[in-house]
């Protein structure tokens, strides 16, 4: 490291840990999982009362969207409230979307690390308002991950 002028700060180093925090997630031998503190913050967030409140909450939720299947579809009623000419009206549809995202993130899966020895497949889907692609592998038990 010194040869390339790279230095480690001993106060920032973690040795022998099962998993380490990195960029809002935890990385471990089994994969990547959402930071429980961020998930807890999302779950405990009160119902937004303005576009500004909703924008803050969606900013945090969007950061963890990779842990939630169909996130864009679930968030659509909320993102519609942020459009330039939208009138603020917290409807039952918005409440359901808010709760669905919270629930989805609270039961977020651990994302598996890739196995270079196994083949990859790409799955894509799109609708009028969202597109999603996933990089998958079949694990040793025959499950797509």
Taking the C-alpha atoms of residue 121 and residue 144, their distance in angstroms, rounded to an integer, is: 10
What's the pLDDT score for residue 109?
A: 85
Cite the beta strand spans of 88-130 per DSSP E: 121-126
What's the pLDDT score for residue 138?
A: 87
Our measurement of the distance from residue 71's CA atom to the centroid of its chain's CA atoms, rounded to an integer in Å, reads 9
Any residues with CB less than 8 A from the CB of 86 and at least 6 apart, and which? 51, 80
What's the pLDDT score for residue 110?
A: 85
For 2-113, the fitting CATH number among 3.40.50.2300, 3.40.718.10, 1.10.340.70, 3.30.70.270 is: 3.30.70.270
Predicted TM-score of the model (pTM) = 0.79
What's the pLDDT score for residue 30?
A: 86
Break the chain into its structural domains and give their ranges. Answer: 2-113, 114-145
Closest CA to 115 of 31, 20, 38, 40: 31
Digit-by-digit pLDDT tens for the chain (145 residues) are 888 988 889 998 888 999 998 888 999 988 999 999 999 999 999 999 999 999 999 999 999 999 988 899 999 999 999 999 999 999 999 999 999 999 999 998 888 888 888 999 998 988 887 788 888 898 888 888 7
């Amino acid at each position: 490291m010194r040869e390339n002028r790279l230095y480690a700060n001993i106060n920032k180093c973690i040795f022998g840990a099962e998993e380490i925090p990195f960029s809002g997630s935890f990385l471990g031998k089994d994969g990547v999982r959402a930071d429980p503190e961020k998930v807890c913050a999302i779950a405990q967030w009160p119902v937004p009362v303005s576009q500004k409140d909703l924008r803050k909450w969606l900013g945090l939720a969007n950061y963890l969207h990779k842990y939630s299947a169909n996130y864009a579809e679930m968030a659509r009623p909320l993102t519609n409230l942020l459009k330039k000419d939208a009138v603020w009206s917290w409807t039952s549809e918005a409440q359901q979307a808010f709760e669905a995202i919270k629930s989805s993130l609270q039961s977020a899966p651990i994302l598996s690390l890739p196995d270079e020895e196994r083949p990859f497949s790409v799955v894509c889907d799109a609708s009028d308002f969202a597109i999603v692609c996933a990089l998958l592998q079949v694990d040793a038990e025959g499950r797509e991950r």
